[in-house]
Amino acid sequence: MGSIKTILSSLVLSAAVAPIGPAALSQSLITSDPLQFFATCAGRLSAEMEFQWMFDGAAADRISQERLAVLDIIDAMMPPDQGRTVLNWRVEAKMAQAALLTQATFATQDRRADNARTLALRNVESCRAQLLS
């Protein structure tokens, strides 16, 4: 049930702020709780990496490097007693992103696939916007 709630809240949030753009969205989300933001990014990037293993090994390697950068950030800012909470955020985000990627790739309705693809891309771009190139 948690992953469905995460997907729905992602859809509502993305619809509400779509005109703002991913960089502004990521900045507003990071200021609310940076640890949760980066934990969510780690989960999303894990799902992206695993999904790309099926289709594009080079893309999976790039995403793996981004994921490692996010994990370094999490390690630097996470208090010792937050491990379970951070892991929960990561797993929920990974499941939600994997569901979007599955819809984007295998949905039989074009509109549903396009919407899922757009949201999945926005999710990852909001994370990339916080990483140094």
* Domain parsing of the chain, residue ranges: 20-128
Q: What is the pLDDT of residue 55?
A: 85
* Cβ–Cβ under 8 Å, residues 48 and 64: no
pLDDT tens digits along 73-99: 999 999 999 999 999 999 999 999 999
Q: What is the pTM of this model?
A: 0.76
| Residue 38 CB-density burial (10 A; 0-12 exposed, 13-18 middle, 19+ buried) | buried
Residue at token pair 């499941």: 95
Which residue, among 32, 44, 98, 104, has the nearest Cα to 71 in the 3D structure?
A: 44
pLDDT tens digits along 11-56: 444 444 444 454 444 445 566 899 999 999 999 999 999 999 998 8
Q: What is the DSSP letter of 19?
A: T
